[in-house]
Structure 1
Amino acid sequence: MSKENLLLIFTRNPELGKCKTRLAASVGNEKALEIYKFLLHHTAEITQNLKAKKYVYYSEDIWEKDIWNNETYDKKLQEGIDLGLRMENAFKAGFKKGYKKIIVIGSDMYDLTQADLENAFNRLDSSDFVVGPAEDGGYYLLGMKTLEHSVFTDKAWGTPTVLRDTLKNLEPKKINLLETRNDVDVLEDIKEHPAFQTLLKK
């Protein structure tokens, strides 16, 4: 099973002033970086034992020594002028390597577990695509068995229309929708969340 499955993890290099900028507008750059590192650790925890090949795609530079264990994760650099092209290039590379089921996630989801990812791979057995809708109108997970170019183009990335436009691209295909989850972009996303209270009170 693991030889067929590939998980792509898209991540920003955790550098001061360069990640979670919308959150930083409310809590400041240092706290935003701390929260992002907390989310990265969570993402590593829920993916390290997943029975799938794992590629971590960095936004700026590949870091050899960080939370992503070099024996568990293959490290790569995102390539493309926007998020869509970067994701498409990562999917293309995975299919070229022979993987049958490929899923991409970001690294800013606290409400995601290893079981959720296993479930997403399993659902690709009976559908062409699997999509995890985010509460903000985007998606937190996208999986496919064949490359679908249209989902990566003509999108206003980071806006509430992304999920709607993506599902429109996939209309004739068999899509499996996962539960709607909340990714972390702004203070409102974590203000009431118990897991973030200690970080916010520091």
Structure 2
Amino acid sequence: MSMDAVVIMAKAPEAHMVKTRLTPPLDPGTASYLYCCFLLDKLEQVRCLNDIYPMVAYTPYDRVNFFKGIRPPGFTLMPQTGGHLGERLANVSGYLFEHGYEKVVILDSDSPNLPTGYIYDSMRCLDKTDAVIGPCLDGGYYLIGLSTHMPELFQDIPWSTPRVTELTMEKAVNMGISVSLINEWYDVDTVEDLLRLKRDLEKPLDGSFLCRNTYRMVSTMDI
């Protein structure tokens, strides 16, 4: 098996620290529990992938015991290091390529029903291009994959803005890096996103991941 890593970027589900744009209408405790459901479903999705090394890059550093408690067998844990998101992504990439991995695909934990096929698509793209991006409808990305360490891709990007994917693509072109774009999907950050998720879980889209923990929670919400 080739040394291909799929890494989930994860936060400990602490009230007032995750899904803050959903409060209100959700209270902070409910929002943090919802994010925990997202995270559990993302772990299950990655656990079921074939021929990859599953990993979780977690924050904060002192919550390692929480992640030890929820990780499925076979998952490697690594702490996120660095300040802003770009530094943390670059550090994850650098560490894994230094340790011999040939492809690194990094996922967010905000898209619980992301079709599993999109992750496999990203791995195939890395056979042909240097990088791959899974763009979000809000202008960010839910996935970035690399075939070698390219820290410059994560520098001088205005994170949490609608231009993240656009400016990352521009940077890649300027650096002579070949990039594939796979299908768009959506993160669940706002009330509108949550309403869409609820609709989609009630009538799943073709190929979307059946995120059971999230479904059980969202189906009972009155939003």
TM-score, structure 2 normalization: 0.84
Whole-angstrom distance in 1 between the partners of 2:80 and 2:43: 18
How many angstroms apart in 2 are the aligned matches of 1:199 and 1:77? Answer: 34
Measure the CA separation in 1 of the matches of 2:220 and 2:26: 11
Q: 2:185 aligns to what?
A: 181
Q: More deviation in 5-14 or 24-33?
A: 24-33
Identify which of 68, 75, 78 aligns with 1:76: 78
- Mapped partners of 2:83, 2:99: distance in 1: 23
Which position in structure 2 is the counterpart of 1:166? 168
Q: Which residue among 132, 148, 162 is the counterpart of 1:146?
A: 148
Contact 1:111 1:183 in 2 (8 A): no
The one-letter amino acid of 2:54's match is: K
Q: Which of these residues, 110, 113, 122, is aligned with residue 111 of structure 1?
A: 113
**C-alpha deviation, 1:114, in angstroms:** 2.8
Matches within 5 A, 1:4-83: 4-50=3-49, 51-60=51-60, 61-63=63-65, 64-69=67-72, 71-83=73-85
Residue identity opposite 2:8 in structure 1: I
Which deviates the most, 182-191 or 59-68?
Answer: 59-68
Q: Secondary structure at the match of 2:23?
A: helix
**Post-superposition offset of 1:199:** 4.0
Q: Secondary structure at the match of 2:78?
A: strand
Identity of aligned residues (%): 28
In structure 1, the gaps of 5 or more residues are none
Give the superposition deviation at 1:41: 1.9
> Could you tell me whether the CA contact under 8 Å between 2:139 and 2:164 is conserved in 1?
yes
CA RMSD of aligned residues (A): 1.7
1:101 pairs, out of 100, 103, 112, with 103
Q: Does the CA contact (< 8 Å) of 2:186 and 2:193 recur in 1? A: yes
- How many residue pairs get aligned? The number is 200
CA distances 1:143-185 after superposition (whole Å, capped 9, x unpaired):
0111222211111111111111100011132211011100111
TM-score, normalised relative to structure 1: 0.92
